[in-house]
Amino acid sequence: MTLAPGVDAPTWPEEFAERYRAEGYWRGETFGGVLRERAAGHPDRIALIDPAPERRTWTYRELDERADRLAAGFAARGISRGDRVVVQLPNVGEFIEVVFGLFRIGALPVYALPAHRESEIGHFCAFTEAVAYVIPDRHAGFDHRDLASRVKKQTPGLEHVFVAGDPGEHTPLSEVYADPVALPAGPAPHELAFLQLSGGTTGVSKLIPRTHDDYLYSLWGSNEICGVDADTRFLVALPAAHNFPMSSPGWLGVLYAGGTVVLCPKPDPATAFPLVESERITMSGLVPPLALLWTDAAARTRHDLSSLELILVGGAKYSEEAARRLEPALGCRLMQVFGMAEGLVNYTRLDDDEATIVGTQGRPISVADEIRVVDDADRDVPDGEPGHLLTRGPYTIRGYWRAPEHNTRAFTEDGFYRTGDIVRRTPTGHLVVVGRAKDQINRGGEKVAPEEIENIILAHPSVHDVSVVAVPDEYLGERSLAYVVLRAGAGPLKPVAVKRFVRERGVAAYKVPDLVEFVDTFPQTGVGKVSKKQLRSTAEQS
């Protein structure tokens, strides 16, 4: 698909957009508008609770006012519609205020994860030509202000660094809030709302352009399936910037429904269980390793978890055996969710039988989600047979942002997204994830692109070649293993030195290889390429 000048990503062809509007999926709302309406409808209801270090609450009216004040302050600093702003905040109230402030003026948050470091942040800022970067002062023992100073030096267009907390040499976020006298006109519903990150299979994460119309549909569609309403009290245990806790149904879904969002600073049971009790949490979303931890800890806890009604588990394959134990242990319902920041989200349903809930990854939100399961030549395979999952629909993107070449590979000519997942479809239309065709490691829901890490390790002077693959892991599902071939004559290298080298290049800690092994040669494929398949099976056997 070619792009008109000035257009950053392919979008839905007009006949699809018209149909999605006519059929009621795209309601013509915007995030800024939705918050305004909820604040008018139930101003005094609690929208948001940030429990730590001291408990702060926001009513819908307060959240709306704070978003307005930030929008005014951002606008006064020259940030305007379409501008990109990299937002890297942990689960704190400011995160929600900042993104609604940006939504209101049509500036686009770029959602970095708290774990990202100089390599990722530098790329996001440069690639998106971001005008601002929003950070905490320190988080999890790391000083984000130093990182910001370095990135700012390298990125001439990055004009502002706003800090939630002690600003150091940057601008305190608290100074940005201003009187919202004359706010500029907000965005239109078909326009972009933000850029989400893909887990990535290539060197760097691709950016995912989501519109108000399409993302809002994924929210209220999810709300209907999960039973989210004004009484929902949702605990954001995973990083709030990740697509799963944001939208499936996530904190944005809960705000759409007029419920209450509670931010959890850390997802472990010791932090989360007291909050479940004190805030009477009804719903949360977890990746499989955390679901295991919660399941085990529930047996020993002295905290009252009886308010819990539903736990969603997704992001990586949840074993059937673990899934079977969750409901009895936590005394609530389980829903599996298989989603992607590119769009398509599948849920098991509350009225599915137990075998379906524990044994499948759910079915799509919408009858308008088109699903194809195909062989290597894009021919449909019969139901029940494994194949590549392709999808197209009212909330699945038609292309990544500023990636025309990659888009020709990641999408079919008629606009289906190639998910890279291998699934099989059951007679009820549920999907079972059976594998993956894309070169990616799924470390308990945290995605690692091997190529990104291989490129870093290749820069080591003693390294001749490297291949990073997934190895099975009982707790995380998968871990990463780097096979390294040393240069002839290079001195000995220890695995820790390779790990340190990667860490010192400034990448997120979850991308540092869990294991490093030195080998003489890699297995080759017929055409002389390194065979990842062969390497994976070698790793599985060792």
Amino acid identity, residue 192? L
**Which range of residues in 123-131, 153-161, 265-273, 333-341 is near ligand DBH by CB under 6 A?**
333-341
Contact flag: residue 498 with ligand DBH (CB under 6 A): no
Q: Give buried/exposed letters for 340-367 (b at 16+ CB in 10 A, else e).
A: bbbbbbbbbeeebeeebbbbbbbbbbbe
List the single partner that 421 binds among ligand DBH, ligand AMP, none, CB under 5 to 8 Å by kind: ligand AMP
**N residues, the chain:** 542
* Residue among 11, 222, 247, 361 that touches ligand AMP (CB under 6 A): 361
Residue of 186, 199, 209, 450 that binds ligand AMP (CB under 6 A): 199
Closest residue to ligand DBH, based on beta-carbon distance: 339
For ligand AMP, the binding residue among 96, 108, 112, 341 (CB under 6 A) is 341
Interface of this chain with ligand AMP, residues 441 to 460, rule: CB under 6 A: 442, 447
The owner of tokens 């929008």 is 71
Give me the helix-helix angle, 288-298 and 269-278, nearest 10°.
70
**Which residues make Cβ contacts (< 8 Å) with residue 286, sequence separation at least 6?**
237, 238, 267, 294, 311, 312, 313
Q: Which of 35, 115, 337, 432 binds ligand DBH (CB under 6 A)?
A: 337
Judged by CB under 6 A, which of 315, 364, 477, 513 binds ligand DBH? 315
Find which of ligand AMP, ligand DBH, none residue 248 binds, CB within 5 to 8 Å per kind. ligand DBH
Peptide bond into 249 cis (omega under 30): yes
Minimal distance in Å, beta carbon 65 to ligand DBH? 30
Stretch that binds ligand AMP, among 221-229, 251-259, 315-323, 518-526 (CB under 6 A): 315-323
* Start-end of H helices in 314-403: 320-330, 354-359
Q: Which stretch binds ligand AMP (CB under 6 A): 136-144, 260-268, 312-320, 461-469?
A: 312-320
Angstrom distance (rounded) from CA 233 to CA 280: 7
Residues 219-258 touching ligand AMP, rule: CB under 6 A, are 243
Cα separation values, 269 from 30, 103, 302, 428, 469, Å: 35, 33, 11, 35, 31
- Separation between Cα atoms, residue 530 and residue 542, nearest integer Å: 19
The runs of H, that is alpha helices, within 128-268 are 144-154, 212-226, 243-247, 250-256
> What's the min distance (Å) between Cβ of 258 and ligand AMP?
27
Return all residues near 63 (Cβ < 8 A) that are at least 6 apart: 35, 39, 47, 48, 96, 97, 100
Residue number with CB closer to ligand DBH (189 or 445): 445
> Can you tell me which of 238, 262, 272, 341 binds ligand DBH, judged by CB under 6 A?
341
Rounded CA gap, 3 and 401, in Å? 11
Which part of the chain contacts ligand DBH (CB under 6 A), choosing from 262-270, 332-340, 360-368, 498-506? 332-340
Kindly identify the residues of this chain, within the stretch 130-169, that bind ligand AMP according to CB under 6 A.
Answer: none
> What minimum distance in Å lies between the beta carbon of 37 and ligand AMP?
29
Binding mask 101-140 for ligand DBH (x = CB under 6 A): ----------------------------------------
As given in the structure block, the two tokens for residue 307 are 């308010």
Q: How far is CA 185 from CA 84, 103, 104, 106, 234, in A?
A: 17, 11, 8, 8, 32
Backbone phi, then psi, for 318, in 5-degree steps? -100, 125
Which listed residue (139, 160, 212, 317) binds ligand AMP by CB under 6 A? Answer: 317
* Candidate segments 131-139, 181-189, 334-342, 357-365, binder of ligand DBH by CB under 6 A: 334-342
Distance CA 36, CA 41 (A): 9
Closest CA to 445 of 239, 249, 247, 265: 239
What's the min distance (Å) between Cβ of 333 and ligand DBH? Answer: 17
List residues binding ligand AMP (CB under 6 A).
198-199, 243, 314-317, 336-342, 361, 419, 421, 433, 436, 442, 447
List residues binding ligand DBH (CB under 6 A).
243-244, 247-248, 314-315, 337, 339-341, 345, 445
